[in-house]
Amino acid sequence: MKIALAQQNYHVGNFEANTRKIIDGIHQAKAAGADLVVFSELCVCGYPPRDFLEFEDFIAECYKAIDTIKQHADTIGVIVGGPARNPIREGKDLFNAAWLLYEKEVKGVAHKTCLPNYDVFDEYRYFEPAYEWNVIPFKGKKIALTICEDAWNLGDNPLYRICPMDQLIKQHPDLMINISASPFDYDHDEDRKEVVRQNVLKYGLPMYYCNAVGSQTEIIFDGGSVIYDASGNLVKEMKYFEEDFEVIEIPQPVPPLYEEVVPGFSIAVHHEQSANPVHSNTTASELFDKDMRVSRVTDPEQILSYLTREDNIAQIHSALVLGIRDYFTKMGFTKAILGSSGGIDSAVTLALACEALGKENVRAILLPSEFSTSHSVQDAEKLSQNLGNPYDIIPIREVYDALLHTLKPVFKDLPFGLAEENLQSRTRGNILMGLANKFGYVLLNTSNKSELSTGYGTLYGDMAGGLSVLGDVYKGQVYALARYINRNGEVIPVNILDKAPSAELRPNQKDSDSLPDYDVLDKVLYQYIERRQGPKEIIAMGIDEAVVKRILKLVNTSEYKRNQFCPIIRVSCKAFGVGRRVPIVGKYLA
C-alpha cells in the first residue's frame, strides 16, 4: 500500500483556503498512485485555533469543510485533522480528532488521548481526552492512528496516565500513523525524530509521521515529517520550513546485522543502510525529561557555544524568515518598517525582513539624535545600501527639544536622567508609528531576548511594534545570526559586529553600563528561563551570587513591560508570550 504525506501550511480559520489546499493534496496523491494520503493535526481549521473552538459556528465550518473534502475521498483514503463533537454530556464538548475518509464516507475517527497543557499548549482547555481506542481497517491493513502528543508519553516518568499505543497494540495493527502540529524550537527536531524512533522500536511497527509547517502568529511549525520502518531505520525525512509531499510504500522491516541486549537499555539495532541507528547506551528515559521540550544543557561554560552553534543558528534563521513571511501574508500585510540604528539588533532584523518580504518592501528609518555617533549613521546607511532596501534619515532633535521645552515647567532644572533618555526612544517610536500609519507599514520590533528579559527597553518607544523578530533570541545568538547572514559575503557591515552595543541615549553610553556582560547575562537567563533553574542551582554552577540575584530580580520586576509587548516569534523551548505565564504582581526573586 502506498501512503502519501502532505506537509502543508495552513491558516487558522481560513476554511476556504485550507480546504482547497487539502483537496489539491488529494489530487496530487491520486496522480502519484497513492492509496492513502495523510494531512496534519487540525488541518481543516489550522493549529492552534484556541478560543475560536468555543464558537459553534467555527465548529460547524470545520464539519462543513470535512464534508467537502469527503467528496474527493472517493478512490483514495484521506486522513485529516479536525475537531469532533463529543456526544456524551459529561466532559468537554469536543475531541481533537483524526478522520479517515474513504468512498465519500467517514470510515473511522480517532480521538487524541494526551492533551498537552504546558508552554504554548492549552488543549485541555477545549478538548476531552479519548476514552476508547480502536484500530481503523483500511484496504486490508489495520491502522493505529494517533495525534501528535499521543506519541510522546515515553520514559520512566510519563506525563499522562494512558498511552494510546499501549491500548492499540493489543488489536495487532500493521502500522502507525501520527498526525501532528509539533512546533519548532532549536532543540526539538532531533528529540522529535527520536520519539518517533522509540515508538517504532517499542511497538515493532513502521510509522508515518506527518507534521504541519508554517507560522501561526508566534508559533513556527517546521515540518520535517518522517517515515520509519519497523526496525527503527529512517526511510524518509521531509523538508524543513517549507511544504513538501512524499509517497512511500509501507516499508518492510530490515533485518539487523546483529542485536545486543544490555540490561536496562534498549536493543541495539545496527544496519549499514540505517540513517539513524539505535545505540545500546540510549534509552527513552535518558533522552527526555518529564517536559520533553526542556533543554538538557547544564554546563554554563557550554551554554553559549550550544546556543550559537551553527546548526541551531541556521534553523533559527529559517524559522524567523518563515515567521515574518507568514505573519505578513496571513494578515494581508505587504510592507514593513523599522528603526535602523546602526546596531546589531536592527541590522539583523532588517536583513531577515528583506529576505522574508523582499528588499523593496522593507523601509529602514535612521533616527539620529545628538548622542548618535557618526559611524552609527554611516553603518546603517551602508547596511541598507548592501541590502538594497529603501531608507530615510529623519533626525529627532527638533521633536525631542520640543518635548523638553513642553515639559520644562514641570521638569524644572532637575538633572538629565532616565526620563530624558526614554523621551528620545518614545520620539523615535512616535515617528515610526506615524510613518507606519501613513503608508500602511507594519513596524517590526528589534529588541532581543536578553533586553526583554531584563526590562532594558522603553515602553511605547523601542518596545513598540506589531511583531517582534528577535524577542526570543539572546544577544549572543543575534551576533551568530549576523555572522550567518554574512556567510557568503558582507551584508551586515563588520563595524556593526565589532563595536560595543549601545542605546546611544546619553554621551558614551554602553549596554554594559546597565547590564552585566552579555556572555554572563545570557548564561544566567538561559538557566532561569529555559531550564527553570533557581538561584541556588545557578550560583552552584560557579556564577557570582550577586550577579545572579541582580539578573533574576531584573527579570521578575520587568514582567509588566513584557505583558504589553507585541507577539514574539518563538524559536526556543521557552519564549516570552503565551508559553510563559508568570504574575506581574509577585514577590518571588523580586
Q: What is the pLDDT of residues 29-43, one digit of tens each?
A: 999 999 999 999 999
Q: What does the block give as the cell for 354?
A: 528583506
Q: Tell me, what's the pLDDT at 322?
A: 98
Question: Could you tell me if 25 and 9 are in contact, meaning their C-beta atoms sit under 8 angstroms apart?
Answer: no
pLDDT, residue 277, reads 38
- Output the CA–CA distances (angstroms, integers) from residue 41 to 80, 81, 136, in the order listed: 7, 5, 17
Give the pLDDT band (50/70/90) at residue 254: low
Dihedrals φ, ψ of 249, to 5°? -70, 150
The H-assigned helical ranges of 156-240 are 164-168, 189-203
Model confidence band, residue 256 (pLDDT cutoffs 50, 70, 90): low
Region class of 119: left (phi > 0), else alpha (psi between -120 and 50), else beta: left
Confidence of residue 267 (pLDDT cuts 50, 70, 90): very low
Beta bridge partners of 147: 179
Between 278 and 249, the more confident residue is 249
Measured distance CA(435)–CA(109) in Å, rounded? 51
Report helix, strand or coil for 373: coil
Q: Rounded to an integer, what distance in angstroms lies between the CA atom of residue 495 and that of residue 228? A: 48
User: Cell 497494540 maps to which residue?
Assistant: 169
Please name every residue paired with 208 in a beta bridge, in sequence order, or none if there are none. Answer: 177, 227
Which residues, listed in sequence order, are joined to residue 82 by a DSSP beta bridge? 97
Average pLDDT over residues 547-562: 96
Over residues 136-151, the pLDDT tens digits come to 999 999 999 999 999 9
Residue ranges of the chain assigned to CATH 3.40.50.620:
300-562
Give tens-digit pLDDT for 275-323.
343 333 344 444 444 444 445 677 877 888 889 998 999 999 999 999 9
Number of neighbouring beta carbons within 10 Å of residue 539: 17
Tens of pLDDT, residues 429-473: 999 999 999 999 999 999 999 999 999 999 999 999 999 999 999
DSSP 281: T
pTM: 0.92
Does 164 score more than 80 pLDDT?
Answer: yes
Strands 36-38 and 2-7: parallel
pLDDT tens digits, 416-432: 999 999 999 999 999 99
Q: Is the pLDDT at 156 greater than 60, yes or no?
A: yes
Contact predicate 72/83, CB 8 Å:
no
User: Position of cell 551554554?
Assistant: 303
Return residue ranges of the chain for CATH 3.60.110.10. Answer: 2-287
Backbone region of residue 217 per phi and psi (left: phi > 0; alpha: psi in -120 to 50; beta: other values): left
End-to-end CA distance of the chain: 60
Q: What is the pLDDT of residues 491-503, one digit of tens each?
A: 999 999 998 888 7
Cα–Cα distance between 454 and 521 in angstroms, integer? Answer: 9
pLDDT at 293: 44
Burial of 350 (0-12, 13-18, 19+ CB in 10 A): buried
DSSP letter at 250? P
Give the separation between CA 48 and CA 96, rounded to whole angstroms: 11
pLDDT at 345: 98
Longest Cα–Cα distance of the chain, Å, equals 87
Angle, nearest 10°, between helix axes 518-525 and 300-307?
Answer: 100
Calpha distance 24→19 (Å, rounded)? 9
pLDDT tens string 327-378? 999 999 999 999 999 999 999 999 999 999 999 999 999 999 888 777 889 9
What would the pLDDT profile of 502-522 be if each residue is shown by its tens digit? 877 778 788 878 889 999 999
φ/ψ of residue 579, rounded to 5: -90, -5
Catalytic residues, which ones?
41, 112, 148
Q: What is the residue-wise DSSP string for 344-362?
A: HHHHHHHHHHHHHH-GGGE
Helix/strand/coil for 229: coil
| E strands in 351-406 | 362-366, 391-393
CATH class of the domain whose range is 2-287: alpha beta
The DSSP secondary structure of 467-533, one letter per residue, reads EESSTTS-HHHHHHHHHHHTTTS-SS-HHHHHSPP---SSTT--GGGTS--HHHHHHHHIIIIIS--
Q: What per-residue confidence (pLDDT) applies to 273? A: 36
C-alpha cell of 244? 513538501
Mean pLDDT of 39-54: 98
> How far apart, in whole angstroms, are the C-alpha atoms of residue 450 and residue 459?
16
d(CA 206, CA 452): 44
**In a 3-state reduction of DSSP, which class is residue 146?**
strand
Instruction: List pLDDT tens digits, range 78-116.
Output: 999 999 999 999 999 999 999 999 999 999 999 999 999
Strand ranges for 63-152 from DSSP E:
77-85, 94-102, 105-111, 136-138, 141-147
CB-hemisphere CA count at 13 Å for 240?
22
Q: Which CATH number fits domain 300-562: 3.40.50.300, 3.40.50.620, 3.10.20.30, 3.20.20.70?
A: 3.40.50.620
Q: What is the pLDDT of residue 295?
A: 56
Inter-CA distances, 516 with 83, 113, 528, 546, 551, Å: 48, 46, 15, 11, 8
- Exposed / middle / buried, residue 273 (Cβ in 10 Å: 0-12, 13-18, 19+): exposed
Tell me what the pLDDT averaged over the chain comes to.
91
Neighbours of 411 (CB within 10 A): 14
* Confidence at 255, pLDDT banded by 50, 70, 90: low
The whole-number pLDDT of residue 286 equals: 44
Q: Which of 185-199, 213-227, 298-312 has the highest mean pLDDT?
A: 213-227
- Distance, in Å, from the CA atom of 75 to the CA atom of 501, rounded to the nearest integer, reads 62
For residues 554, 555, 556, 557, the Cα torsion angle rounded to the nearest 10 degrees is 40
Rounded to whole angstroms, the Cα distance separating 228 from 238 reads 12
What pLDDT shows up at residue 269?
40
Per-residue pLDDT, 252: 80
- Measured CA to CA, the distance from residue 109 to residue 132 in angstroms comes to 11
Reduced to 3 states (helix: H, G, I; strand: E, B; else coil), residue 371 is coil
